[in-house]
Amino acid sequence: MLPPPASRHLRALFVDRDGTLNPDLHYLKEAERVELYRGVGDALYLARRHGYAVVCVTNQSGIERGYYTDADVRAIHARINERLREHGARVDAFYYCPHAPESGCACRKPGTLLFERAAHDLGIAFGESAIVGDRPLDIEAGRRLGLLTALVVPPGHEELLAEELAREGTRPDITASRFGLAVARILARG
């Protein structure tokens, strides 16, 4: 049985990791290879200044597949925060699913278990929170929880993502070509 939830009611900016904060290097194992997209640090700094806790929720099936370990993932997360410190920003908490899609777990996005754990642990109010991701599964997870959803659509990927969104039957509240622009649009909504 879980302990009672945290009593605070924070608003959170949930963020995906690979393809959203940093380039998706397909089963990234080495922390020293972590690079953030331009503007990510500044955008997260602004989000925190506007009262958002920053929570990263990411699928990391490479653990179950044996490509890397939990320790590798934790080192990558530490490296992300090291890079963000250069901008006065940080991710307050990282939650990751180690399972492959075929495992059918509840924690893999678009499942919401990791978001629910974060809300419990940190006292997050979903109705005041948002998510930024680069895939329809990020948007679907956010939609299920009543989050404001923002999809980063890099130039040249518009048609592919539109097809994927139509196939999944989901739609973001906000679309943007860059992470920083997505966060600016979330902050503009209050």
Residue 3 forms part of a structural domain: no
Whose tokens are 């940080």? That residue is 90
Model pLDDT for residues 2-26, shown as the tens digit of each residue: 444 455 679 999 999 999 999 988 8
Q: What is the pLDDT of residue 8?
A: 61
Residue 4 forms part of a structural domain: no
**CATH code: domain of residue 22:** 3.40.50.1000
CB count within 10 Å of CB 66 equals 7
- How many residues are listed for the chain in this entry? 190
Residue 142 above 70 pLDDT? Answer: yes
Residue 157's pLDDT band, with cuts at 50, 70 and 90, is confident
Q: What is the pLDDT of residue 67?
A: 95
Mean pLDDT of 52-78: 96
Distance CA 40, CA 99 (A): 27
Mean pLDDT of 74-90: 97
Higher pLDDT, 175 or 26: 175
Residue 2 forms part of a structural domain: no
Contacts (Cβ under 8 Å, ≥6 apart) of 129: 11, 12, 13, 14, 52, 145, 147, 148
Query: Could you give the number of structural domains in the chain?
Result: 1
Residue 5 forms part of a structural domain: no
Q: What is the pLDDT of residue 176?
A: 95
Catalytically active residues are 16, 18
Q: What is the pLDDT of residue 162?
A: 83
Rounded to a whole number, what is the largest CA-CA distance in the chain?
A: 47
Mean pLDDT of 104-126: 96
Sign of the Cα pseudo-torsion (52, 138, 189, 37, in order): positive
Domain that holds residue 182: 11-188
